[in-house]
Amino acid sequence: MGRFPEDFLWGGATAANQYEGGYDVGGKGLSTADTMPGGKIRMQVMFSPEFNWQIEPDKYKYPNHFGIDGYHRYKEDIALFAKMGFKCYRLSISWARIFPNGDDLVPNEEGLAYYDAVFDELAKYNIEPIVTISHYEMPLHLVKEYGGWANRKLVAFFERYAQVILDRYHEKVKYWLTFNEINSAFHFPMLSMGLAGDAARDMGTVFQAFHHQFVAAARVVKYAHELDPELLIGCMTLYATSYAADCNPVNVLANEQQKEEMNYFCTDVQARGEYPAYTDRLFKKYGVESLEVEEGDLEVMFENPVDFISFSYYMSFVVNVTDPEAAKAAGNLMDGIRNPFLKASDWGWQIDPLGLRIALNELYNRYELPLIIVENGLGAYDEPDANFVVNDDYRIDYLREHIEAMADAIEDGVELFGYTPWGCIDIVSASTGEMSKRYGFIYVDLDDEGNGTANRYEKKSFDWYKQVIASNGENL
């Protein structure tokens, strides 16, 4: 027997707002992602007190408007995924394609038909879709008119949206994820919660928005299970393995608390169905007085935990509270202390394959639920030659070491059922809006300024991953 289960789901992952483009076609409404400027200033702009979801073409570029034109080229891309042997493909549905304003009573049929066509194309090649219901965007109107997830009304709007897509696609899609990297809101509540300005800085508002998302997600789990018992619904968390800087108990305790907050809080709620015991400590830390909880909220959460846990893993961090001078490391939407034992990517994200084995063991031992890694990969500058050949051995090395770590974790006893490396085709980066931060097995001819043909080219890692899948993870 091989190291990976026979039916292991090898694949890749993208998100609508970074992939599709076509931001104003097919009846789609504007989404929050359409207001995200391109470039390294993206997060800074969105976290500035004056950011108010405006589109300012004189000031900024908006690379998500075109994405990589997946809206028009998805057939070509799916054929390439099939050529690599993908068993699954994680994608997200753009809420604003289905409900252009978010509070509409009737869905946009053109948007629904678009995803039907995508799922049918995947089915042609026996590629199992894994669908994120909300990946870092929502209809812009919900933010402008209602203030995003701080408003209780979002629960019903989300429920309506989720019910429509579950009804429509449940025979085509078995695996569903509710909110992408739900816990990222501890750092950037603009992306998943649609909070900006003062609201984004007020942790009381953030926790209230979390509560609304927990209730909404639990209601979706309930609805999905009643609709079709075959459906499997997961949560999705940003997981960064975290180490104490040394054995000073002060750092060890700080690390444990950091893990509870960042890695576990949301997953504890969604997997166990209730707020964890340390919730009051978190509230005290952030000066949160109380939450507005409606009758039935805690029951629906308790009765509808998720079926599996999905997570992203790119890097690890160190927690050091005893040395205020300790050097910092960058990361996806958060930062921590640098680890002298690790190398980092071109963007400063610390590369730690063993940290993935640790993450898998920590998550599995805590919840004993099946796990799937729905994001992992190396954002790097690729340099194609004149024929668009990219020899991305650095990417192959990164992925190989992480797949080895997965095999080791499975041997440790972890139930891991799939792996979808991030940005399997180059797409617009979430944190910086750059095209030059590439993760893909497929090179897309577009630069940060939007120049290029958007044509697709297989990188060296394309053939390598094909052989990994064909050998079910043996031939690395």
Catalytic residue ranges: 375
Smallest distance from the beta carbon of 373 to ligand BG6, in angstroms? 12
Residue 229: both structure tokens together: 């018992």
Q: Check residue 181 for interaction with ligand BG6 (CB under 6 A).
A: yes
Q: Kindly state the tokens that stand for 43.
A: 């997060």
CA distance 20 to 354: 34
Site string for ligand BG6, 426-445 (x = CB under 6 A): ---xxxx----x--------
Burial class (CB in 10 A: 0-12, 13-18, 19+), 272: middle
Please select the residue that binds ligand BG6; options are 32, 35, 178, 180, rule is CB under 6 A: 180
Nearest residue relative to ligand BG6 (C-beta): 431
Residue 136 interacts with ligand BG6 (CB under 6 A): yes or no:
yes
C-alpha to C-alpha distance for 221 and 24, rounded to whole angstroms: 31
Mark residues 234-253: x for contact with ligand BG6 by CB under 6 A, - for none. ----x---------------
Q: Which residue, 57, 17, 62, 69, is CA-closest to 38?
A: 62
Q: Which is nearer to ligand BG6, 193 or 410 (CB)?
A: 193
Pair of tokens at residue 193: 């919660």
- Complex with ligand BG6: residue 18 or 320, whichever CB lies closer: 18
- Nearer Cβ to ligand BG6 (130/238): 238
Nearer to ligand BG6 among residue 377 and residue 473 (C-beta): 377
Shortest gap between Cβ of 424 and ligand BG6 (angstroms)?
Answer: 12
In whole angstroms, the minimum distance from the beta carbon of 311 to ligand BG6 comes to: 10
Do the beta carbons of residue 426 and residue 461 sit within 8 Å? no
Q: Let me know if 219 is exposed, middle or buried by CB neighbors in 10 A (0-12, 13-18, 19+).
A: buried
Site string for ligand BG6, 330-369 (x = CB under 6 A): --xx------------------------------------
Q: Minimum Å distance from CB 321 to ligand BG6?
A: 25
Q: Is 375 in the site for ligand BG6 (CB under 6 A)?
A: yes
Binds ligand BG6 (CB under 6 A): choice among 4, 9, 11, 15: 15
DSSP letter at 322 equals S
Torsion angle in degrees (nearest 10) through CA of 118, 8, 240, 368: 120
- The C-alpha atoms of residue 185 and residue 178 are separated, in whole angstroms, by 15
350 close to 339: Cβ distance less than 8 angstroms: yes
The number of C-alpha atoms within 13 Å of 43 and in the hemisphere containing its C-beta is 16
Torsion of CA 401, 404, 406, 408, to 10 degrees: -130
Q: Based on CB atoms, which residue is closest to ligand BG6, 180 or 205?
A: 180
- Which residues of the shown chain bind ligand BG6 in the complex (CB under 6 A)? 15, 18, 136, 180-181, 238, 312, 332-333, 375, 379, 422, 429-432, 437
